[in-house]
Amino acid sequence: MPRHLLASAVAAVVLVAGSLFLLWTPSPGAPAHGSASSSDEFEVAGDGTLPEKRPPLREQGAPLSTAERGYAIGLALASLPDSGRDVLDEARAEVLAADLPAVDLRDGRRRVQVTAYDYDDDRLHQILLDLPTGRVISEEALTGVQPPPSTAETQVALDLALTAMPAPAFVDQFRQLTGAPLLAADEVRVIGAAWAPEDGGGSSATRTCGTERCVQLLVALPSGQYLSTDDFVVNLSRRAVTLFPPGGHRHG
Amino acid sequence: MADPRHRSLLTAAACSVLLVCATLLSGTTTLAGPSRAAAAAPGASAEEPACGPALVTRTLSTGSAWRMCTRIHPFKGLVLEDVQFRSATGTGDDQGWLRVIGSLYLAQLNVPYDTGTDVFDDITGIGFGNDRLLTQTPETCDGDALPVEQSFMVGSKLVERTIPGICVREAETGLAWHSQEGWATTSDRYAQQGRALEVSSLSKAGWYEYQQKVTLTDQGTITVGLGAAGDLAPSEGFFRTDPAFGWPIGPNEDEDSDRHAGSHWHNAIYRVDFAIGSGDQQVEEWDYEGDPAFPTRVRGEGTIRDEAFIAEDPPATTWWRVVNPTALNADGHPRSYEIVNDAIQNPYLPLTRPPLSFTNDHPCQEYASSNLNAGCPGQSVLDYVASETKPLTEPVAWVSVGYHHIPRDEDQSPMPVHWQSFSLAPRDLLAQQALTPAERTCDNGLTTGAGGSCAAINVAAPAIAAGNSPPGAGTLLTADSGTWRRARELLAYEWLWLRDGEPILATGDDGLPSAATGETYRLTDADIGRQITVRVTASATGVTPGIATSAPFVAPLPTPPVTNPARTAPELKLKILKKGDRRGRPRLRIVVRGDQGGGAGVVTIQRRGKVVTAALSDGRVTVRLPRPGKRYRVTVSYPGDQWYLAATATIRVRR
């Protein structure tokens, strides 16, 4: 599938009337308690854009506020090469995480470690930021390290699997169980997992996973029943779905 | 032995509230005061963790307390930082907050299925935070569900939510401690139920759902557990025909069918960065060796491990502790935490086989395997140990906690939680256990095992008995000492009598005020209607004194006549009847009557200093009067009854 089609497909699925469609909605409808929001769904923060102005900063060991995290992500993305591409092929790296660094790296200050994946060159970037000054403390780039996939990456992987030819087994299994074809990603629930073959293992099609960004999917019906998804892996870097031969080992 | 310095402080504190301290202190009486924790010099207390809304501070109902920073990391899930403990009864340097852990989290959860075809790294491959974190509900958390603010990028948009995501609750731990040295009686029994703080979160990583739970007891022990629930892996792909790789689940079918739910391991590896006090810490290993010629003889030896290491196939008797040689408890012993890992380990993987590994604290060494930190990319604990070049002075423990899940029929949905855990147990963190009762404070070192209480503990309050009834001024009160736990030394008692809570002062033979002391006290007019109590102080050499106060004794005021607040004034009529008696003596009719009819009781008739009474009948009575030699006056008084007020009337009697 062309990249621009993927991007539009994900955007349509992900953002519905300003509210995020959950890839996995834990305990739908479960009443929240405590002082938190009554909803457990993610929603777009404000207009969704990243704050450019430094927000009020919390104590150095406090969890990041949404504004702090957004501000840090903006600083991190600005420090990366302009050639960066995310999983939607937009002109920025794919942000995978932004959180407090190890205690020793905080130096008593409000600092954030941002991890992002650049699909342009399949490199992982890790940027340590000092929020009070907005300064980049360190930036490292490397290949071969694959953190858990982001929401968008998981969604793209599912879209690729749905349109793959030949189709993975879960597509037909869905039809058998529901009596209807699986046409859209929002008819199932999915969790993505970073995937790489064991050392020295894998077929020629999957051997690049690890250096490239690959994802396996755990797909379930809305009822919670899991479908069989152990017969394929999605290479996001190549936008390719690789089917394992029957009885083949996914690892090693 | 009790610290005499503490004793004098106690005495001064208690006396400050008494008027007669000078008198009391001139003798040998020692009064008990505040708890010893408040009286002793405080030790250096750790600074409060700087984490704003993520700071959790809880004082358990048994008195010990914990505080720490809690948050949910996108990949690691529940993370605790700057964990501090405060004992309920520590004294001296053992008082206040003691920092024990720098950070603690699950650094990898490796889940290989026994078939060898499927392996999941639930932390570095899936993650426990972001949308994998589950909302706490009253069903999952009967304590406080703390809000967790989450946000991440979806495409170009920043999304967020705040959910109750961390559960904090106080839990019972069962019998916390027990000692009964008096064989034939329970009077020497010391026992208490324990409490613990539980901090937990729930995450969904596919069909499995995990509770990350850290249990922090009132004794300072930290148990780190991972509870697995959710559902068994789907039959498609994970149920096999070969019984070697699973267990038959569900109704019996063809032996060759794919009905064996796949067995698998939950290989959890935790990262524990110790922070016992400040300064360098050490790892000490203790090994034991038996004597073949003398099998019950076992010799132990401790060794400081000054280099990073992997505990490869250690003997079951070997154990380790992280010790700070410069952080001393109140007894002068270096504080330490022992790693208690009774879990099994997956022996087939080099990473998970060692129960324990130690490295220095390097910020880039975040995960136990498939490390996601760019500073040590893709590395594992094995690499960390191999690459360590510096002496082991900032120990980080990598604790391997395995669970081989062989599914059962009972593990079907919703799967009962199965647990794997390890503990960090304080070893000499404090000079005595964290909840040492006053009765055992002197049971330290060479006095261990001695019977009797270290403190005067009252079991039944003193009682006051009156010498006569009803009591009044002049009545002699006698007090007993009450009942006290058996102490290490024979207790002596002092009595102090109180009026309305204040010491009763009297003028002594020397003309000076002196307190009413002793077992007896004679009531005075000033005591009538007031609350009289007696305060008994029990003391002995080497025993922390105790105080007990009796229930109040009140000598009642004279009983006033029963009055009816609604009484009214009666009409008291006097009339000399026209016809006297047979002897010509005048007859006086007395009538007491009002809105309630005739008055009851008696009337008093006075004449020339003489008083007689006559009982009313239906409010009237007729009496004979003396024959008057000359006129005289008769006064009749009615004292009132429950309906009528008193009344008086006078009449003249003529010749």
Interface confidence, given as ipTM, is: 0.89
Decide which of B427, B446, B480 is a domain's last residue.
Answer: B427
User: Are the C-beta atoms of residues B304 and B393 closer than 8 Å to each other?
Assistant: no
Residue B21 lies in a domain: no
The reply to whether B390 and B531 lie within a common domain is no
pLDDT category at B473 given cuts 50, 70, 90 is: confident
Shortest CA gap B221–chain A (Å): 23
Residue B56, pLDDT > 70, answer yes
Interchain proximity B237–A228, CB inside 8 Å? yes
Look at B134 and A23 and tell me if their CB atoms are within 8 Å.
no
- pLDDT band for B561, please (50, 70, 90 cuts): low
**What is the per-residue pLDDT across A150-192, written as a single tens digit (0 to 9) for each?**
999 999 999 999 999 999 999 999 999 999 999 999 999 999 9
What are the residue ranges spanned by the domains of chain A? Answer: 3-142, 151-243
CA distances from A252 to A199, A203, A230, B118, B378 (A): 7, 9, 14, 9, 17
Task: Please state the domain count of chain B.
Answer: 3
Residues in A closer than 8 angstroms to B138, CB to CB, are 31, 33
Interface test with B, best of A171, A189, A190, A230 (most B CBs within 10 A): A230
pLDDT surpasses 70 at B299: yes
Counting one residue from chain A and one from chain B, the pairs whose CB atoms sit within 8 A come to: 253
pLDDT at A147 over 90: yes
What residues of B are in contact with residue A24 (Cβ under 8 Å)?
Answer: 131-132, 204
pLDDT reported for residue B654? 80
Which residue of chain A comes nearest to B72, CA vs CA? A63
Percent of all residues in chain B with a pLDDT value above 90, rounded to a whole number:
66
Kindly give, in sequence order, each residue whose CB lies less than 8 Å from that of residue B362, ignoring residues fewer than 6 positions away.
B375, B376, B384, B396
Instruction: From B521, B554, B587, give the residue that closes a domain.
Output: B554
Domain-located, residue B196: no
Nearest chain A residue to B378, by CA: A145
At position B12, the amino acid (one-letter code) is: A
Taking CA–CA distances from A126, the nearest residue in chain B reads: B374
Does a structural domain hold residue B294? yes
Q: Report if residue B306 sits inside a domain.
A: yes
Query: Where are any strands of DSSP class E within B136-207?
Result: 144-154, 157-180, 189-205
Same domain, yes or no, for B232 and B114? yes
CB B176 within 8 A of CB A64: no
Top residue of A33, A153, A177, A213 to mutate, by most chain B CBs within 10 Å, is A33
Same domain? B322 vs B461: no
Written as six digits, the tokens of B370 are: 């498939």
> Residue A32 above 50 pLDDT?
no
Both B228 and B338 in one domain: the answer is yes
Is the pLDDT reported for residue A211 higher than 80?
A: yes
Mean pLDDT of A195-214: 83
Question: Which chain A residue has its CA at the smallest distance from B68's CA?
Answer: A61
- Is A48's CB within 8 Å of B157's CB? yes
Please report residues of B whose CB lies closer than 8 A to that of A249. 116-117
| Same domain? B509 vs B631 | no
B557 has pLDDT over 60: yes
Around Cβ B53, how many Cβ atoms within 10 Å? 16
Cα A181 to Cα A117, A170, A175, A232, distances in angstroms: 34, 11, 5, 19
> Cβ B144–A195 below 8 Å, yes or no?
no
In CATH, the architecture of A151-243 is Roll (3.10)
Of the pLDDT bands very low, low, confident and very high (cuts 50, 70, 90), residue B400 is: very high
Q: Which domain CATH number covers B330?
A: 2.70.98.20
Task: Look at residue B257 in the predicted model and tell me its pLDDT.
Answer: 67
Average of pLDDT values for B293-301? 95
Here the CATH number for the domain that contains residue B504 is 2.60.40
For residue B284, give how far its alpha carbon lies from the nearest alpha carbon of chain A (Å).
24
Q: How far is B341 from chain A (nearest CA, A)?
A: 25
Whether the predicted pLDDT of B501 surpasses 90 = yes
Q: Do B156 and A31 touch (CB under 8 A)?
A: no
Same domain for B505 and B625, yes or no, is no
Q: What one-character DSSP code corresponds to residue B72?
A: E
Ranges A225-229, B356-360, B442-446, most confident: B356-360
- For residue B152, the model assigns a pLDDT of 98
Q: Which of B554, B581, B599 is the last residue of a domain?
A: B554
CB contact under 8 A, A48 and B116: no
Q: Are residues B413 and B472 in the same domain?
A: no
CB atoms within 10 A of CB A3: 15
Q: What angle do CA A7, A12, A14 make, to 5 degrees?
A: 90
Residues of B in contact with A35 (CB under 8 A): 147, 164
- Tell whether B504 and B536 lie within a shared domain: yes
For residue A78, give how far its alpha carbon lies from the nearest alpha carbon of chain B (Å).
Answer: 14
Whether B437 is in a domain gets the answer no
Contact B420, B225 (CB under 8 A): yes
**Set of chain A residues whose Cβ sits within 8 Å of the Cβ of B131:** 22-24, 26, 42, 151
Residue B222's contacts (CB-CB under 8 Å, 6 or more residues apart) are B83, B100, B101, B104, B214, B215, B216, B337, B423, B424
Cα within 13 Å of Cα(B226), Cβ side: 32
Asked if residue A25 has pLDDT above 80, the reply is no
Could you say which of A33, A50, A220 has the minimum Cβ distance to residue B158?
A: A50
C-alpha distance from A120 to closest chain B C-alpha (Å):
16
Q: Decide if B16 is inside a domain.
A: no
Say yes or no to pLDDT of A38 above 70.
no
From first CA to last CA, the distance across chain B in angstroms is 98
A144·B377 Cβ contact <8 A: yes
d(CA A38, CA B163): 8
| Structure tokens given for B104 | 């603690």
CA-closest candidate to residue B216, choices B270, B177, B271, B173: B173
Distance CA B96, CA B42 (A): 7
pLDDT at B117: 83
Quote the minimal CA–CA distance from A76 to chain B in Å: 13
Is B53 in the same domain as B119?
yes
Whether residues B412 and B466 fall in one domain: no
The model's confidence at residue B255, banded by pLDDT at 50, 70 and 90, is: low
The answer to whether the CB atoms of B134 and A27 lie below 8 A apart is yes
Instruction: Give pLDDT, residue B567.
Output: 83
A16, A42, A128, best to mutate vs chain B, most B CBs in 10 Å: A42
Within 8 A of B121 by CB-CB distance, chain A residues are 193-194
Can you give the CATH number for the domain in which B637 is found? 2.60.40.10
Residue scoring higher pLDDT (B603 or A85): A85
Band the pLDDT of B53: cuts 50, 70, 90.
Answer: very high
- Distance between CA atoms of residues B229 and B412, nearest Å: 10
- Which of A30, A70, A225 minimises the CB distance to B158? A70
Residues B379 and B254 in one domain: yes
Cα atoms in the Cβ-side hemisphere of radius 13 Å centred on B263: 15
Residue of A44, A100, A193 with shortest CB distance to B159: A44
Residues in chain B: 655
Q: Do A147 and B124 touch (CB under 8 A)?
A: yes
Q: How is B409-456 classified by DSSP, letter by letter?
A: GGGSSSEEEEEEEEEEEEESSSSS-TT--GGGTT--GGGTT--SBSB-
Residue B440 lies in a domain: no
Q: Please, which pLDDT band fits residue A200 given cuts at 50, 70 and 90?
A: low
Q: Is residue B379, in this structure, part of any structural domain at all?
A: yes
Q: What tens digit of pLDDT does each residue of B82-110 get? A: 999 999 998 888 999 999 999 999 999 99
What is the rounded average pLDDT of the residues B567-592?
89
Question: What pLDDT shows up at residue B90?
Answer: 85
Judged by average pLDDT, the poorest of B358-362, B507-511, B573-577 is: B507-511
Spell A152-174 as b/e; 16+ CB within 10 A means b. Answer: bbbbbbbbbbbebeebbbbbebb
Confidence of residue B322 (pLDDT cuts 50, 70, 90): very high
With CB atoms and an 8 Å threshold, state whether B149 touches A65.
Answer: yes
Residue of chain B nearest A87, judged by CA positions: B155
* pLDDT the model gives residue B581: 83
Q: Is the dihedral of CA B564, B570, B575, B580 positive or negative?
A: negative
A3-14 vs A151-162: helix axis angle to the nearest 10? 120
pLDDT tens for A93-119 read 999 999 999 999 999 999 999 999 999
What pLDDT score was predicted for residue A33? 36
**What pLDDT score does B174 carry?**
97
Of B138, B155, B159, the CB nearest to A42: B159
Beta bridge partners of B261: B239, B247
- Over 70: is that where the pLDDT of B35 sits? no
A88–B155: do the CB atoms touch at under 8 Å? yes
CB contacts, 8 Å: A173 with chain B = 236
Task: Please answer whether residues B407 and B232 qualify as being in contact, where contact means their C-beta atoms are separated by less than 8 angstroms.
Answer: yes
Round to whole Å and give the CA distance between A75 and A52. Answer: 8
DSSP line for B257-320? SS-EEEPEEEEEEEEEEE--SSS--EEEEEEEEEETTEEEEEEEEEEEE-S-EE--S--TT-EE
Residue of B134, B148, B152 to mutate for A, most A C-beta atoms under 10 A: B152
pLDDT value of position B611: 76
Q: How many CB atoms lie within 10 A of CB B172?
A: 11
Q: What is the pLDDT of residues B177-225, one digit of tens each?
A: 988 876 656 667 889 999 999 999 999 998 999 999 999 999 999 999 9
Q: Which of B51, B137, B375 lies nearest to residue A33, judging by beta carbons? A: B137
Tokens of B486: 């058996």
- Compare CB distances from B204 to A7, A24, A125 and report the shortest one's residue: A24
Distance, in angstroms, between B175 CA and closest chain A CA? 31
| CA atoms of B141 and B228, how far apart (whole Å) | 16
Q: Give the closest-approach CA distance of B359 to chain A in angstroms.
A: 15
Selecting from B137, B155, B273 the residue whose C-beta is nearest the C-beta of A11 gives B155
Tally the C-alpha atoms within 13 A of residue B166's C-alpha that lie toward its C-beta.
25
Which pLDDT does position A20 carry in this prediction? 42
pLDDT of residue B447: 60
Query: DSSP label at A185?
Result: G
Predicted confidence (pLDDT) at residue B62 exceeds the cutoff of 90: yes
What average pLDDT does the structure give for chain A? 85
**B138 pLDDT exceeds 80?**
yes
Considering only residues A6 and B256, tell me which one the structure prediction assigns the higher pLDDT: B256
pLDDT at B595 (0 to 100): 87
Cβ distance of A61 and B147 shorter than 8 Å: no
Residue B25 pLDDT exceeds 70? no
Same-domain pairing of B463 and B420: no
B507 pairs with which residues across the strands?
B513
Asked whether the beta carbons of residue B72 and residue A148 sit closer than 8 angstroms, the reply is no
Top mean pLDDT of A220-224, A241-245, B207-211, B527-531 is at B207-211
Name chain A contacts of B264, Cβ cutoff 8 Å.
none
Query: Of B105, B133, B123, nearest to B202 (Cα)?
Result: B133
Which residues in B lie closer than 8 A to residue A218 (C-beta atoms)?
206-207
Nearest alpha carbon to residue A155 among A207, A94, A113, A77: A94
Q: Find the helix packing angle between A151-162 and A169-178, rounded to 10°.
A: 80
**Shortest Cα distance, chain B CAs vs residue A115, angstroms:** 9
- How far apart are alpha carbons A219 and A191 in whole angstroms? 7
Whole-number percent of chain B with pLDDT over 70: 89
**Least confident window among B288-292, B543-547, B608-612:** B608-612
Given a contact cutoff of 8 angstroms between Cβ atoms, the answer to whether B44 and B327 are in contact is no
pLDDT of residue B343: 97
Q: What is the pLDDT of residue B550?
A: 97
Q: What is the mean pLDDT of chain B?
A: 88
What residues in A contact B161, CB-CB < 8 Å?
37, 39-43
Q: Whole domain around residue B641: which residue ranges?
A: 571-653
